[in-house]
Amino acid sequence: SFFFTLQIHPVTTQGSQQTQQPQKHYGITSPISLAAPKEIDCVLTQKLIETLKPFGVFEEEEELQRRILILGKLNNLVKEWIREISELKNLPQSVIENVGGKIFTFGSYRLGVHTKGADIDALCVAPRHVDRSDFFTSFYEKLKLQEEVKDLRAVEEAFVPVIKLCFDGIEIDILFARLALQTIPEDLDLRDDSLLKNLDIRCIRSLNGCRVTDEILHLVPNIDNFRLTLRAIKLWAKRHNIYSNILGFLGGVSWAMLVARTCQLYPNAIASTLVHKFFLVFSKWEWPNPVLLKQPEECNLNLPVWDPRVNPSDRYHLMPIITPAYPQQNSTYNVSVSTRMVMVEEFKQGLAITDEILLSKAEWSKLFEAPNFFQKYKHYIVLLASAPTEKQRLEWVGLVESKIRILVGSLEKNEFITLAHVNPQSFPAPKENPEKEEFRTMWVIGLVFKKTENSENLSVDLTYDIQSFTDTVYRQAINSKMFEMDMKIAAMHVKRKQLHQLLPSHVLQKKKKHSTEGVRLTTLNDNSLDLSMDSDNSTSVPSPTSAMKTSPLNSSGSSSSESIPQTATQPAISPPPKPTITRVVSSTRLVNQPQRPSGNSATKITCPVAGVKRTSSPHKEESPKKIKTEEVLLCCLSVSVLLSNIITIW
């Protein structure tokens, strides 16, 4: 059996000579340790709390009460709206008086780990006579009339349809679910699987967030310890740029499930111990073995569930973390080879740091130090999305960001690329034309190239990778009728020393000297963006790639020899065939580069081409300190010319 091939592990009871009292069992395996906290653990936990406070992870009581008040107002609006709908549909007065309707919360707010200023994920639950169309019409109009409501927008065609708004300064996302009930009681428990009968798939998806959140809270031994540990891990993940489900890392619910599993394995531990054990467990975890909080249950509702025994595609998931509520799903299907490599390395580094903290060789602040992503790699791809208005930018950026993982997946399938690491943070980009109203957003992807032997000339063609990505984005924008003129995507290869010309100065922590050997970039309408070059006299910052590729998943930095319960292994993923490419889009060109002939200047596009000179001998190629690079050339090609997006390495 895939799910239940488990090892038996002895339970340790360190720190206690007394006979352990029977306690409730959590999770699909026995706990690793039932050890009670020692005095030093309590001291370290208090130090952890003090370290977390300046980061704003704890909300003030006044702000918490304000959220409760806002949710109360929203709940009353829902009840009032459902009564109005009931009257319009001529329901009996006896039903109207008790028809109910309710706002449920899920996500970080429901888990009790939301930070200052965080948004609220909410679910509007309505009885069977209220349609989804009512939610997106009459309820939307009712919200529009509320003076506290700003930035109201409906996303009806989304995978999980949602109304987004800002209510008295708090951002709220509201989903909708219609249950097969005549009335909605106040004490409704959404964990009841029978509620899913006869529901359409969109309602089931909308209910899923609440059902998963409630299950997680019921599956941890101590909610307070779970919450404090999760606050610490979420802050760590955000500081280390590995918090983003949409970009292929982990989102909030996935981090919550990993912390919950740690709590199950150490049910009596407090936060300082649990943070350390978190890194211990998941630096040793043998992915793609799944993380499960409970044994999957079959409800005979014929809904698709994550099960690699039945679904071949589930066998290819790289880092499965399975939601505990029916229908069970993998919350990490966006994880790629690169993002998993980055996260596993971060787990190992987190273990090394917490080992030091427990030995009083470091403070908690070291765990939350943000690494400088922009010093980590020698090569980057900068991706820019632009739109003529702020409203269009919000929609366009949302679509582009949701597809970046496709570009990352395509890059990491390139035979010469070892790692493609996207920074989850986006940044405002310099304008092409200062006199033109334009809103631009930029993402940065770090690249690591495979070290080649016996090859002095290596050309890496990225045309396909960028073309397939831009084609996908434009195709979806057109199909969803979202596309507007002047919505653009541009992608360029940039070296580390060039980033200072594109990024805000505050994000580049390490200042470096730059020469003024000029390479001037302009857009197709000749409005310039200056990318000054310098000679590469810096030492390459080591990346985690080599350690990831040569080290086993088990951590060697652990002070513990505990065995981690696993489940059976899955087969490795095989890449699908590449689709046909039709277009590549960019908006910059080199002014001092000879321009290629073109029949129509309005259709010109560009392809980033990089020349990198490698002066080390083939025998010493593995040493990044020996690698010297020359200037990066960005050249413009037209549609009628063969497109090449090449990084040439000598």
Q: List, as residue ranges, the binding site for ATP.
A: 106-108, 115, 119-121, 173, 234, 243, 252-253
Task: Give the active site residues.
Answer: 108, 119, 121, 173, 234, 243
Structure tokens at 516: 């003024």
Name the helix (H) or strand (E) containing 363. Answer: none
Structure tokens at 18: 């007394």
CA 636 – CA 638 distance, rounded (Å): 7
Provide the 3-class DSSP secondary structure of residue 47: helix
What DSSP letter does each residue of 117-173 carry, written as one string? T--EEEEEEE-TTS-HHHIIIIIHHHHHT-TTEEEEEEETTSSS-EEEEEETTEEEE
Structure tokens at 35: 């050890």
Q: Which candidate, 188, 42, 248, 217, places its Cα nearest to that of 113? A: 217
Annotated binding-site ranges: 106-108, 115, 119-121, 173, 234, 243, 252-253
Cβ pair 442, 383 in contact under 8 A: yes
Q: Which candidate, 267, 273, 228, 294, places its Cα nearest to that of 24? A: 267
Distance of CA 146 to the CA centre of its chain: 33
For tokens 């936060």, the residue is 271
Bridge partners of 522, per DSSP, are: 528, 589
Q: How many CA atoms lie within 13 A of 486 on its CB side?
A: 13
Annotated binding-site ranges for Mg(2+): 119, 121, 173
Cβ pair 322, 306 in contact under 8 A: yes
Structure tokens at 270: 């407090």
DSSP one-letter code for 480? T
For tokens 């679509």, the residue is 399
φ, ψ of residue 460 in degrees (nearest 5): -110, 115
